[in-house]
Amino acid sequence: PTRKGAATTVTTDSTRRPDGQSASNELTNRQGHPITNNQNIRTVGNRGPATLENYDFIEKLSHFDRERVPERVVHARGAGAHGIFEAYGTVGGEPASTYTRAKLFQEKGKQTPLFVRFSTVVHGTHSPETLRDPRGFAVKFYTEDGNWDLVGNNLKIFFIRDAIKFPDMIHAFKPDPVTNVQDAERFFDFCAGSPETFHMVTLVYSPWGIPANYRMMQGSGVNTYRWVNQAGEAVLVKYHWEPKQGIKNLTVKEANEIQATNFNHATQDLYQAIERGDYPEWELLVQLMPDGEHPELDFDPLDDTKLWPNDRFPWLPVGKMTLNRNPADYFTEVEQAAFGVGVLVDGLDFSDDKMLQGRTFSYSDTQRHRVGANYLQLPVNAPQKHVATNQRGGMMQLRVDLAPGQNPHVNYEPSLLGGLVEAEQPGKEHTPYVQGNLVRQSIDRNDNTKQAGETFRGFEPWEKDELLANLIGDLSRCDARIRDRMIALAEAADDEYGRRLREGLAQAGGGGSSQTNLGNRDGAQAPNDAARKGH
Ligand code: HEM
């Protein structure tokens, strides 16, 4: 879509001229020199060879040659928007301060600006948005205490529970290193050997693996975090986003019809809704659990392949997010946006969830490679409060983070000569006691199929039909050893699930079609009624 007038969207800091001058429309180069001829390179005579001192031409092409930065290794395709979070001030009828001292949740009506990036996971920056894949749901809150990033997905669980398996998982899900084609056999080869994936596979191969667009999907922090109150007491917390627009997922047939004519439909849908003032909204809800191991549960609260059943751990609303402004420039804001699970504010804390711990290293590490050492100085990533650090230098340093009145010669701490000083501890620190042998071991209570069975039984009939058609379609072209393991997992999860998968695969025989986009092929043709509640 073309925007009707640039004025419909407020320009952000990222597009404002640093000198504050009003810009004329005269074309210049990056040195500020006027460009008087943008049609012809400089040559000896109008047919003659070009000269090396064609500075403007060489600068123009050299910049063009560098227009791309490395795409995200996962979640490369995305769409973003600015918005606002409004707190309710309470959690389940209690003041928010009972559980967390994070300032953004404390007062009813308190507003915090934010930036969101939605994404698909496996394929590259211009891949179709109809593919079967989890969807990323990353939110950056610019709070008064600095940034908080809640980097989640649309589904509430994940494939694996230990971060060391992530590179293998992504290699298996991405295109084959030889053919460069995504291959369901590689996907299921990994999943068959990693049975903890089965619950997530059950969701991703159902219509929940193809959300209709970004506005009509849920979000979830997936991993378990902690909230800490003023007294330093902690609870375990999971975050969920519920769309006010309702939830809508696609059948394979519907997805294929969209993909035949438009592979950008989700980006367009979000952009156009915001341009016409139809601002999408999500409610933020949390599930809380007292801190601890919870031996009474049949799952570990730190296991991100598990749902916390909502009858025992109800979803408690804490606030509302509204997306109300499109980015002024895609690359500046959306492509260069950098989210990370380590980015927490006071009152929010980590848990020992092994995925969360591994993720916390990975995000800022990749961002230093993808965007550069000073990625946090870019306007979309910088907090909307004053920053004062002793970090200096590195590629593309835009400014020095000095405090007002700071002695600029002192870029170290401690100092008696006017440097930066440590901040006050804002509340009692949460200091959990840990002890144990250093081991490389899976958690106990790692039942891989029980919740997958519950999720299967919670599906509507058309969702079960789609799930089975999609699984049978892709598994029928996998090695028999892989098929057998997947059947065994389905049988352990639910009788009907296992029986239908076994029978369907026996009927289909081996050797399905040679191409797949992970089940996004002819599936069952089932009705997809409007919005419905999530699982
Ligand atoms: C993006 C690593 C698990 C959600 C990324 C990126 C990396 C990464 C390296 C690219 C970041 C960038 O270039 O800016 C990992 C690792 C994981 C893991 C090592 C497991 C150990 C998860 C899980 C979720 C998730 C469980 C969902 C809760 C996302 C999202 C993005 C992303 C939404 C895109 C952020 C954006 O829009 O820029 N991940 N990830 N990841 N990851 Fe993960």
CA gap 440, 437 in Å, rounded? 10
List the structure tokens of 267. Answer: 């980006």
Question: Taking CA 184 as the corner, what is the angle to CA 180 and CA 189, rounded to the nearest 5 degrees?
Answer: 105
Helix (H) or strand (E) holding 27: none
Active site residue 54: no
Q: Are 240 and 286 in contact (CB under 8 A)?
A: yes
Output the pLDDT for position 292.
Answer: 95
**CB atoms inside a 10 Å sphere around CB 454:** 16
Instruction: Note the helical H segments in 214-309.
Output: 252-261, 265-275
**Rounded to the nearest whole angstrom, what is the distance from the C-alpha of residue 138 to the centroid of ligand 1?**
9
Output the pLDDT for position 18.
Answer: 52
Cβ of 359 closer than 6 Å to ligand 1, yes or no, is yes
Position in ligand 1 atom list of the atom nearest CA 137: 33
- φ, ψ of residue 226 in degrees (nearest 5): -120, 150
**Rounded to the nearest whole angstrom, what is the distance from the C-alpha of residue 110 to the centroid of ligand 1?**
29
Output the pLDDT for position 22.
Answer: 54
In the set 75, 123, 199, 240, the catalytic residue is 75
CA gap 161, 30 in Å, rounded? 48
Contacts of 262 (CB under 8 A, 6+ apart): 268
Cβ of 323 closer than 6 Å to ligand 1, yes or no, is no
Contacts of 199 (CB under 8 A, 6+ apart): 157, 305, 306, 448, 449, 451, 452, 455
CA gap 59, 103 in Å, rounded? 47
Largest CA distance in the chain: 86
- Site of tokens 């570990």: 300
List the structure tokens of 53. Answer: 């001192």
Nearest Cα residue to 190 out of 338, 232, 182:
182
Cβ of 358 closer than 6 Å to ligand 1, yes or no, is yes
Cβ of 136 closer than 6 Å to ligand 1, yes or no, is yes
Q: Are 108 and 87 in contact (CB under 8 A)?
A: yes
Helix, coil or strand: residue 52: coil
Residue/partner pairs of 288-296 with CB below 8 Å, 24 or more apart = 288/91, 288/92, 288/99, 288/227, 288/235, 288/236, 288/237, 288/313, 288/316, 289/235, 289/236, 289/237, 289/313, 290/235, 290/236, 291/226, 291/234, 291/235, 291/236, 291/432, 292/236
CA gap 338, 336 in Å, rounded? 6
Output the pLDDT for position 344.
Answer: 98
* Helix, strand, coil fractions of the chain, as percent rounded to 5: 30, 15, 55
Output the pLDDT for position 21.
Answer: 56
Active site residue 153: yes
List the structure tokens of 391. Answer: 């970090």
Output the pLDDT for position 509.
Answer: 81
pTM for this one?
0.93
CA gap 192, 362 in Å, rounded? 26
**Rounded to the nearest whole angstrom, what is the distance from the C-alpha of residue 485 to the centroid of ligand 1?**
28
Among 69, 71, 72, the mutation site with the greatest number of ligand 1 atoms within 8 A of its Cβ is: 72
Position in ligand 1 atom list of the atom nearest CA 80: 37
Q: In b/e form, how buried is each residue of 497-519, taking b as 16+ CB within 10 angstroms?
A: bbebbbebbeeeeeebeeebbbb
Closest C-alpha to ligand 1, atom 24? 152
Give, for all 535 residues of the chain, the pLDDT tens digit. Answer: 344 444 334 444 444 555 555 568 999 999 999 999 999 999 999 998 999 899 999 999 999 999 999 999 999 999 999 999 999 999 999 999 999 999 999 999 999 999 999 999 999 999 999 999 999 999 999 999 999 999 999 999 999 999 999 999 999 999 999 999 999 999 999 999 999 999 999 999 999 999 999 999 999 999 999 999 999 999 999 999 999 999 999 999 999 999 999 999 999 999 999 999 999 999 999 999 999 999 999 999 999 999 999 999 999 999 999 999 999 999 999 999 999 999 999 999 999 999 999 999 999 999 999 999 999 999 999 999 999 999 999 999 999 999 999 999 999 999 999 999 999 999 999 999 999 999 999 999 999 999 999 999 999 999 999 999 999 999 999 999 999 999 999 999 999 999 999 999 999 986 544 445 565 544 443 333 334 445 4
DSSP per residue, 172-202: HHSPPTTT-S--HHHHHHHHHH-GGGHHHHH
Nearest Cα residue to 517 out of 474, 461, 459:
474
- Site of tokens 């004053």: 386
